[in-house]
Amino acid sequence: MRILGIETSCDDTGAAIVEDGRILANIVAAQDIHLEYGGVVPELASRAHITLLPRVVQEALTTSKTTLDQIDGIAVTIGPGLLGSLLVGIEFTKGLALARDIPWVGVNHVEAHLVSAGLESTLEPPYIGMVASGGHTEIYHVPEPGIFHRVGSTRDDAAGEAFDKIGKIMGLPYPAGPYLDKLARGGNPTAVPLPRAKLKGDTLDFSMSGLKTAAKLFLEKEPKPIPDARLKDIAASVEKAITDVLIERLDQALTRYEARAVTVAGGCACNTLIREETTRVAAAKGIPARFPSPKLCRDNGAMIAHAGSFALRRGERTPFNASAIANLDSFTPLPATS
């Protein structure tokens, strides 16, 4: 089956062609307009998707030497995400599906991240998956294909948000995560004491906001300009604190639930220390750690095509009266398929 995957849930416009788990093209246009605002502006994101999506789809078709007649199905992100952005991808999909009589299905964006590593390596349930990006930081148990149980999540900031907000105070460009990662490589992770919040009760949830506030207070007191060596130590300490919070919960999830693998996806899955530490806790349990390559960590159409391919193969179809579900989670039933 040759599937067109469309992703417009946030500020990346993505389209991909995936055939039986093989990526033939995966085109992502990043929307630079948000850089000057230091964060995503929803209205601008929707407008940019309108302009970019037809071009990105065309490029995916050209790169993979695919004509519209060769498309067996379309998978599109139906939620969660920014309402206006989601609508652009969904209504574009409906138009194409209607004009060409192509089957289509709506896909849960978080579930697509959770299966994305399966495009490049073997990832078969049961497994534990963490999605860590600018918008989400959640841990899931995937007991069997198509079943996603959220077992823990952040109570406040997402991991990417913590990297970005602390990085901003350090004077790093937006998004700060990749810059902080690079700086941290030369630093001492024990140089700056930062808190790791402990939540009460039997929970795999976690919190990032105390850490962010502590880093902010600490940085305000730091003499300016901060010398390079000191900046590296701060970056390494911040990265270690964020990673410790995530890895403690990931490790607990691996102890609590049956898992033959662990996967981390989303932008923060590119982080050097998060990868190292995930690999370490997985090895201690005797299971592999699967990470998508950087291009598949961020939002992209290939993971949407891959996630949608299971439903399309089963013959499921999303009805034309279905629409975006901005706050969709893995316990919300997708619109009834026909």
Q: Does 74 bind ligand KG4 (CB under 6 A)?
A: no
What does 79 interact with, of Zn ion, ligand KG4, none (CB < 5 to 8 A by kind)?
A: none
Site string for ligand KG4, 83-112 (x = CB under 6 A): ------------------------------
Give me the least distance between CB of 169 and ligand KG4, in Å please: 14
Judged by CB under 5 A, the chain residues 123 through 152 that form the site for Zn ion are 133
Of residues 157 and 251, the one with the C-beta less far from ligand KG4: 157
CA distance 54 to 93: 10
Applying CB under 6 A, among 73, 134, 187, 292 the residue interacting with ligand KG4 is: 134
Of residues 64 and 133, the one with the C-beta less far from ligand KG4: 133
Angle at which helix 42-63 crosses helix 83-100, to 10 degrees, equals 40
CA distance 265 to 82: 20
Omega within 30 of 0 (cis) for the link into 126: yes
Q: Does 38 bind ligand KG4 (CB under 6 A)?
A: no
Q: Residues 291, 107: contact at Cβ < 8 Å?
A: no
Of residues 46 and 133, the one with the C-beta less far from Zn ion: 133
Applying CB under 6 A, among 84, 125, 129, 266 the residue interacting with ligand KG4 is: 266
Q: Does 299 bind Zn ion (CB under 5 A)?
A: yes
Site string for ligand KG4, 291-330 (x = CB under 6 A): -------xx-------------------------------
Buried b (16+ CB within 10 A) or exposed e, 125-155: bebbbbbbbbbbbbbbbbeeeeebebbbbbe
Give me the least distance between CB of 315 and ligand KG4, in Å please: 30
Q: What is the sign, positive or negative, of the torsion defined by CA atoms of 105, 135, 28, 48?
A: positive
Applying CB under 6 A, among 48, 128, 268, 281 the residue interacting with ligand KG4 is: 268
Give me the least distance between CB of 20 and ligand KG4, in Å please: 25
User: 254 by DSSP, 3-state: which?
Assistant: helix
Tokens of 130: 């963490």
Give me the least distance between CB of 338 and ligand KG4, in Å please: 30
Q: Over 90-155, what HEC string results?
A: HHHHHHHHHHHCCCEEEEEHHHHHHHHHHHCCCCCCCEEEEEECCCCEEEEEECCCCCCEEEEEEC
* H or E segment and range at residue 55: helix 42-63
Tokens of 96: 């194409």
What does 89 interact with, of Zn ion, ligand KG4, none (CB < 5 to 8 A by kind)?
A: none
The single-letter code of the amino acid at 149 is: H
How many angstroms from the chain centroid is the CA of residue 50? 22
What does 163 interact with, of Zn ion, ligand KG4, none (CB < 5 to 8 A by kind)?
A: ligand KG4
Q: How many CA atoms lie within 13 A of 249 on its CB side?
A: 31
Q: Does 181 bind ligand KG4 (CB under 6 A)?
A: yes
Judged by CB under 6 A, the chain residues 149 through 178 that form the site for ligand KG4 are 160, 163-164, 175-178
Contacts with ligand KG4, residue ranges (CB under 6 A): 10, 133-135, 160, 163-164, 175-178, 181, 266-268, 270-271, 298-299
Contacts with Zn ion, residue ranges (CB under 5 A): 133, 299
